[in-house]
Structure 1
Amino acid sequence: MSHVFDNLPLPAAAGATGPDRAAPRKPARRPLSRNRLLLISWLVPAFVLVVWELAARAGYLSIHVLPAPSKVAATAWRLIQEGRLISDMGTSLLRAATGFLIGGSIGFALGTVVGFSRLAEALFDRSIQMVRAIPFLAMLPLVIVWFGVDEGGKIFLVSLGVMFPIYINTVLGIRQVDPKLLELGRVTGLGNATLIRRIVLPGALPSILAGVRYALAVAWLALVIAETIATSSGIGYLAMDAREFLRTDVIVLTIVVYATIGVASDAVARLLERRLLAWHPNYATAGGSR
């Protein structure tokens, strides 16, 4: 009977592949566009605002504890019409920008020197790390003794806070430059100045810009502490004055202003990254979603 089974098809072997056995391919998923990613990033904050507003209107949140976003917005509009909010924001921005420029320049200069020289590291790094460990509030009485209640003390605290992130990331960036690139530059006859300008600083730039982003956040943190010193202008003064009169809506407004300025400054720092690091493959490929 063997000839009966001669014409029957043989079963396919396990794992056999062919045109009729090939597994269907899933269509490749297209990456989300930049505009969609931007929209998604704002969905959670918008949802929080809606829940917050509904909870306040339903009476679950007391106006003296956490006023509704609509109440905060109305307070902001009233202060803008009075000219107070814009003036105080301008004062705080000027203090933060001045402190950032001073502290950032000092941090970058020290980080560059320490990054290139082990002797400079032995001379400066230990002292810098000790000062970095001191909280802002602990230094506040001494700053008042040194500078009084003038603008100098506020700018000093912001400069001090900004200096450390830029210093640390500059040192880290210089130390992480690929030694093979340095050797290649020396073999091709580049002098020390050209080597630094064309290889070391571009290689350290991603780390330095990360320090800039972190320093921007620290600048506002230091400014909040600095504006608790006797002052008559600034967002911090607006918050302290509101605390005396239990104006919760104004206090929440100042928090929102700090958060908004922080998001805006971080967006500027990201734009700077995309501009200055367009040559970097990691930033070039991620540029659409950053």
Structure 2
Amino acid sequence: MAIEETERRVTLGWRETAAKAAVFSTLRLKGLLLPLGLLLAWEATSRLELIPAYLLPAPGEVFGELAALWRSGDLFDHILITGWRVALGFAVGAAAATFLGALTGSSRLLRELLDPTIQALKAVPSLAWVPLFILWFGIFETSKVLLIAVGVFFPIYLNLVTGILGTDRKLVEVAKVCGLSQLDLVRRVLVPATLPSYLTGLRAGLALGWMFVIAAELMGASEGLGFLMIDGQMTGRPAVIIGALILFALAGKLSDALIEAVSKRLLSWQDGYGETQETPNA
């Protein structure tokens, strides 16, 4: 009987895994419908000449321009340097946000001292930092990475502090009654309670990192996708500008999907509404 029960559970597990994989694939395919529809509309607009080609070139021209840049090796260099800037800026901004967010979230005194200033700085537009960073750090990589880090910092900080302050007080009180040490309280209560908000902040921060890299590459860059867009503007090549926009969208989506996949594994214990939507009826 024990063997039969084990086989039954294994079979049910395989079926559930296969069903989730099928639903996941279906959802991914549905996500391609809108981009494909936009691509077809774009192609139709170009063929019917509804918009002049110097304003909106045909998809074939855009992808042809990207293919030419790829064959020359320039496109790979532009993608690599922009990706490196975003990755480094994201690491610096996320580390600073995690450190300050943990401090201000866990200490009322530090929150009253630091949080008002941080919230005020959050409202400063990204381009407003550019002249100051050029003055302080020059036009080289340091200023670019720090500008990206500024963009990454605020959503991660805000989500982490919100997650800590939103932790159910009853859980903390029960943990203290049970005699948990401060380290165990953080590990068993605060981290699981805060993790969903923190991971959401990481995704939002990464998205802003891709936005801020364009402003960063205005600061005397000679490589990168942002530079490629500016070069396309200066030389009157709209195909290059649109191609760089498409690459930004793809890079942002791929990096976001990576964090999303990690988030799903770390939050596999959750039984949220989204999980019920993805699971087919028996």
Task: Please report the TM-score for the alignment, with normalisation by the length of structure 1.
Answer: 0.86
Provide the C-alpha distance between the structure 2 equivalents of 1:195 and 1:226, rounded to a whole number of angstroms: 40
Structure 1 residue corresponding to 2:69, chosen from 65, 68, 79: 79
Whole-angstrom distance in 1 between the partners of 2:23 and 2:184: 40
Partner of 2:14: none
Equivalenced residues, count: 260
Q: CA deviation at 1:193?
A: 1.1
1:217 and 1:287, CA in 2 relative to 1: closer, same or farther beyond 3 A? Answer: farther
1:153 equivalent in structure 2: 143
Name the amino acid aligned to 1:200: L
Deviations 1:42-66 (A, max 9, x none): 1111011011112102211222101
Query: 1:238 touches 1:254 (CA, 8 Å); kept in 2?
Result: yes
Q: Aligned residue for 2:94? A: 104
Q: How far apart, CA to CA, are the structure 1 residues paired with 2:24 and 2:126?
A: 39
Answering whether residue 165 of structure 2 is matched by residue 175 of structure 1, we say: yes
The 3-state SS of whatever aligns with 1:33 is: helix
Deviation (angstroms), 1:287: 8.5
Counterpart of 2:154 in structure 1 is 164
2:113 pairs with 1:127: no
* Rounded Cα–Cα distance in structure 1 between residues aligned with 2:24 and 2:266: 20
Cα distance, 1:281–1:218 mapped onto 2, change above 3 Å: same
Counterpart in the other structure of 2:229: 239
Structure 2 distance, partners of 1:197, 1:269, is: 21
Asked if 2 retains the 8 angstrom alpha-carbon contact of 1:165 and 1:211, the reply is yes
- Going from structure 1 to structure 2, the CA distance change for 1:267 and 1:157 (only over 3 Å counts) comes to same
CA–CA distance in structure 2, aligned partners of residues 151 and 258 of structure 1: 20
Q: CA deviation at 1:34?
A: 2.2
Identity in percent: 36
Change (3 A) 1:205 1:130: same
Matched, 1:40 2:30: yes
Unaligned stretches of 5+ residues in structure 1: 1-29
Higher helix share: 2
Give the unaligned 5+ runs of structure 2.
Answer: 1-18
The 8 Å contact of residues 55 and 61 in structure 1, kept in 2 or not, is answered as yes
Instruction: Give the Cα–Cα distance (whole angstroms) in 2 for the partners of residues 233 and 79 of structure 1.
Output: 13
Give the drift of 1:288: 4.1
Secondary structure, counterpart of 1:281 in structure 2: coil
Instruction: Tell me, in whole angstroms, the C-alpha distance in 2 between the residues paired with 1:287 and 1:99.
Output: 35
Distance 1:285 1:138 in 2: 42
| Distance in 2 between residues matched to 1:268 and 1:34, nearest whole Å | 15
Equivalent of 1:89, from 79, 86, 98?
Answer: 79
Amino acid in structure 1 at the alignment position of 2:46: A
Greater Cα shift, 179-188 or 278-287: 278-287
How far apart, in 2, do the equivalents of 1:284 and 1:139 lie?
39
**Given the superposition, is the C-alpha separation of residues 287 and 89 from structure 1 closer, same or farther in structure 2, using an over 3 Å criterion?**
farther
Q: Deviation string for 1:12-60 (max 9, x for gaps)?
A: xxxxxxxxxxxxxxxxxx9992222222221111011011112102211
Question: How far, CA to CA, are the matches of 1:159 and 1:172 in structure 2?
Answer: 20
Within 5 A, what are the aligned runs for 1:12-31? none
Q: In structure 2, how many angstroms separate the alpha carbons of the residues matched to 1:161 and 1:248?
A: 27
Larger Rg: 1
Say what the alpha-carbon RMSD is for the aligned residues. Answer: 1.8
Separation in structure 2 between the aligned mates of residue 283 and residue 149 of structure 1, nearest angstrom = 47
What does 1:211-250 correspond to in 2, within 5 Å?
A: 211-250=201-240
Distance in 1 of aligned mates of 2:215 and 2:184: 42
Cα shift at 1:284 = 7.8
Q: What corresponds to 1:27 in structure 2?
A: none
Is structure 2 residue 193 aligned with structure 1 residue 208? no
> Residue 69 of structure 1 aligns with which residue?
59
Q: Is the 8 A contact 1:104 1:166 kept in 2?
A: yes
